[in-house]
Amino acid sequence: MANYDPIYLSLNDEPRDIIASMDEVVARRAKTTTTYQQRRWLPRALLLGGLFFLVLNFVLGYSGSLFIFVCIGWWIVAFVVWLALRRNRIGQRLAPEYDTAREVFFTLRDDVAPKKFFFGHLDLTGPQQTSKVARTAKNALGRNVSFYRDEWLSLKAKLYDGNMLRVSAVQRMKVRDSYTKRSASGKLKMKSALVKDDRQQLSVRLSVNPQVYDVATMRLMKPGTGIGTYTIVQCANEGGIVNVVANAATSPVTATDIVSVLHAIYDQLQRKTGA
């Protein structure tokens, strides 16, 4: 499983500002990475320089061993610079969900009502955290199994047409926890955690503005319908509120998949004449 840098964005702003801020985060990360790559030679240079003075000290052979102090000083400085660079470097890439979320925001940017915001969060700190354990159980072998529920994208927006859109993208994981066991030879072996199930779930709730739309019968969207990588598992119209739940087996999902589901839901609406 690839490792990514964790990031958490809490959102309550206009879509264009959110997109600009997300782009700025990426740009700053790129600048930090570039700076790290441009400057990571310094500790090595100081290390080699210190080594040079160490050798020079022995070659010259004068009393006082003065150049050994240069060597020690430069090595200490090299260590401090190395630590500072290491602490400030960008370790991993951002998770692909970051681009997915940005594309979703970008697609919806013109659909938000004037002076209305996107509200929600983008939580890419990773699913396997104790705070994200939905429940635990024992498997057939009596080992602990943890079920994680990671709502990595939560978005609410009042749309231009008066509809209220709520989107929630959740990653659900079933993981057999790590454990130790003693082998036949008596050695203690560590069994690492094993992902038994990993799927994406998209929940969309659209509160339809009755002055603008009629909700048609959910004729085009039924459980089992495939939209991109998603498969509809639940769809309902409850008094003008459309609830759709879709699952995807692949992880990560793309913005196209999410937008396609939204598009399919909108296909269920019929604009009232004269609205």
Partner 1 sequence: MNSRAKTTIILAVVAVAVVMGVALLMTFSGSTPAKYATSQAWSQPMANMQSMKIIDLTGDGQNDLFVQNDTTFKVLDAEGKSLVSQDFIAPLATTLGDVNGDGVEDVVVFAPIDGRPTVAAYSQNERLWATPIENIDQPARAAVVRFPEGTQVIAGDDRGLLVALNQQGQEVWRANLSSGDTIRGLDDALIDGKLYLAAANHDGHVALYDAQGKALWTYSTGILRRLRSYDLNGDGTSEILLGGDGGRLIVLDAATGKELVNQALGQAITEIREVEINGEPSSREFVVGGKKGGVWAFTAAGEQLWSNNVDSKVNEIAALDVDKDGADETIIGDDGGGVTLFAGKTGERFGLDGHPSGILRIDVEKLGVGRKAVVADGSQVSVYSIEKASAPFFYSPLVVGLLIAAAIIAAAWFIASLPQKPAEKIAIEDQSVEGLQAQRRMLHESIADVERMKLAGEMPPEAYAARLKELRAALADNEAALKKAGVKIQVETFKCPNCGGTLPLGTDKCDYCGQVVIA
Least distance in Å: CB of 195 to partner 1? Answer: 19
Q: Is the CA virtual torsion 223, 224, 227, 233 positive or negative?
A: positive
Cα–Cα dist 271/147, whole Å: 41
Which one-letter amino acid corresponds to residue 48? L
Among 132, 146, 171, 204, binds partner 1 (CB under 8 A): 132
Among 48, 55, 80, 193, binds partner 1 (CB under 8 A): 80
**Are 226 and 202 a contacting pair, CB within 8 Å?**
no
Q: Assess 88 for contact with partner 1 (CB under 8 A).
A: yes
Looking at 71-79, 137-145, 212-220, 260-268, which segment touches partner 1 (CB under 8 A)?
71-79
Listing DSSP states for 195-246 in one string gives EEEEEEEEEEEEE--TTTEEEPPS-S--TT-EETTEEEEEEEESSSEEEEEE
Q: Assess 133 for contact with partner 1 (CB under 8 A).
A: yes
Least distance in Å: CB of 108 to partner 1? Answer: 15
Q: Assess 102 for contact with partner 1 (CB under 8 A).
A: no
Measured from the CB atom, the residue of 46 and 269 that comes closer to partner 1 is 46
**With CB under 8 A, what is the number of residues at the site for partner 1?**
60
Q: Assess 149 for contact with partner 1 (CB under 8 A).
A: yes
Can you read off the two tokens belonging to residue 9? 């964005």
CA distances from 6 to 19, 33, 119, 152, 212 (A): 18, 16, 20, 11, 41
Measured from the CB atom, the residue of 21 and 139 that comes closer to partner 1 is 21
Among 3, 21, 92, 250, binds partner 1 (CB under 8 A): 21
**Are 171 and 198 a contacting pair, CB within 8 Å?**
yes
Looking at 8-16, 173-181, 210-218, 265-273, which segment touches partner 1 (CB under 8 A)?
8-16
Tell which positions 185-214 bind partner 1, by CB under 8 A. Answer: none
Residues 6 or more apart whose Cβ sits within 8 Å of residue 273: none
Least distance in Å: CB of 246 to partner 1? Answer: 15
Cα–Cα dist 225/231, whole Å: 6
Residues 6 or more apart whose Cβ sits within 8 Å of residue 80: none
Q: What is the distance of C-alpha 75 from the center of its chain? A: 38
Can you read off the two tokens belonging to residue 224? 């089992």
Looking at 39-47, 178-186, 189-197, 250-258, which segment touches partner 1 (CB under 8 A)?
39-47
Looking at 41-49, 172-180, 252-260, 261-269, which segment touches partner 1 (CB under 8 A)?
41-49
Contacting positions for partner 1 (CB under 8 A): 5-14, 17-18, 21-22, 25, 28-29, 31-32, 35, 39, 42, 46, 49, 53, 60-64, 66-67, 69-70, 73-74, 77, 80-81, 84-85, 87-90, 115-117, 119-120, 125, 131-135, 149, 154, 156, 166
